[in-house]
Every structure is written in C-alpha cells, then in structure tokens.
Amino acid sequence: MTPDDVRALFIRDYLIMSYVASLGAIQLGVSFGGLRGLFLLPGRARTRALGVLLVCAGIASFFLAPLWNPGPWGSVAGGRVVIGAGGQPVPWGRAALYDLPQARNINDTNGGMSGNTQALWFAVGAISAIVTTCTLGSIVNRGLRSPAPPSVGMEALKHTTFLSALGPSIQCWRRTWRDEFRGLSALAWLTFLKSPRKGGS
C-alpha cells in the first residue's frame, strides 16, 4: 500500500461522512424552518428525527469504519506498516476498539488528509447533499400546491417544492435584479464619497 492508497481510503470515508451528515443537518434545518418542500419524510417530527439519525450515522461511519475496513490502523502484526502522527509504526489491518482514538491520526505525508483536502471534500459532500435534498424533496413532495400568487425565494419552499419554486423565483429575479444592482451601486458610491480622503481636512 502506498500513501496514495491510504489517502484514497481516507477521502472515501470522509466524503461519505460529509455527505450523510450534511444531508442530516439540512433536514434538521428545514424541519425547524418549516420548509416542507425540502422534507424527505412527511411531517416535521419525522424529518427532524431523520436529520438527527443521519448526522449521527455520518459521524459514526467515519470514526467506526476502521473496525470493519482494513487500513493503516490495525493491530495485526506484520504486513504493510505506515507511520502515525505520533511517529509510531501503525500496521495495516482492522482496528480493535482500543485503536479507535488514534485510528484516523495519520500524517498527510503517509496518506492522511491535509486541511485543504478536508475543506475540498467537505464542500463536495455538502453540495451533493444540497442537490440530493432539492431533487428528492421535489419528488417526495410533488403533491404540494403553491398558493396564488406563488411565493418566491426561500419562503416558497414552505408551500411548494424546489423545482416548482425555481421558475417563479428566476422570473422575479430577472424583473428586479437591475433595480437591486442600481441600489447597491448607489450605496457603494455614497460610501465612497463619505469615506475620509488622505490629505483631506
């Protein structure tokens, strides 16, 4: 096993955790916000319970996976050995319970994940969870009927699905973006005029 093999294993497990936990966090958020168009289960209480379950399952899968997935955290004698963060050799195999606190503590030079890599793959997992929520929520809640006139923006998701709300929201944005841009430009210009000048009195 090379450091690239170890890194691929870490990335796989971290991506699963990021995706599942983000999916759960989104379900918790939409349940508290009453955004029924994004519920993956009918009812606020069920959606909230699903959110808690997914967050816990995502985190647990990352930290408990060494118990059943061979990797650089085992107690098996012999075989491929990598160097852990403490400078100690770590054999390749399945972890025992007492190995778990150190199981993910691998130097990035030996295949562990650097901070930049974690940020990148967390973003991939979170964006995938958003896409999944919008897609599945639109399928599960396709029976929701939008009030007339339809709401736009996040408020619309209390009464209709993401795909149903997307069209009216884009139309509203196309009608109003010039006015909003002019308002922001005027505010920026006023801020510039009021800012102190070097050499001024």
DSSP 78-105: SS-EEEBTTS-EEESBPPPGGGHHHHT-
Mean of per-residue pLDDT scores for the chain: 80
Q: What percent of the chain has pLDDT over 90?
A: 35
In sequence order, what are the beta bridge partners of 89? 83
Least confident residue range of 36-45, 79-88, 93-102, 177-186: 79-88
Question: Which pLDDT does position 84 carry in this prediction?
Answer: 53
Res 77 pLDDT > 60: no
* E strand residue ranges, 95-191: none
Return the pLDDT at 82.
53
Is pLDDT larger for residue 115 or for residue 97?
115
**Residue burial 26-54, b: 16+ Cβ < 10 Å; e: rest:** bbbebbeeebbbbbbeeeeeebbebbeeb
pLDDT in tens, 44-57: 999 999 999 999 99
Pairing relation of β-strands 89-91 and 81-83?
Answer: antiparallel
Higher pLDDT, 171 or 20: 20
Q: What is the pLDDT of residue 50?
A: 97
Q: Which amino acid, 17?
A: M
User: In the chain, count of helices (H) and strands (E)?
Assistant: 5, 2
Structure tokens at 195: 């800012």
The pLDDT assigned to 57 comes to: 96
* Largest distance between two CA atoms of the chain: 77
Average pLDDT over residues 163-175: 77
Distance CA 37, CA 125 (A): 21
- Which is higher by pLDDT, 102 or 41? 41
- Highest mean pLDDT: which range of 66-70, 113-117, 120-124: 120-124
To which H or E segment does residue 197 belong?
Answer: none
Q: Taking a C-beta distance cutoff of 8 angstroms, is the pair 67, 94 a contact?
A: yes
Mean pLDDT of 189-200: 61
Would you list the domain boundaries of the chain? 3-141, 146-194
One-letter identity of residue 49: A
The tokens describing 106, both together, are 């691998």
- 102 pLDDT above the threshold of 70: yes
What's the rounded mean pLDDT across residues 104-133?
88
* The predicted structure's pLDDT at residue 86: 56
Give the pLDDT mean for 91-118. 77
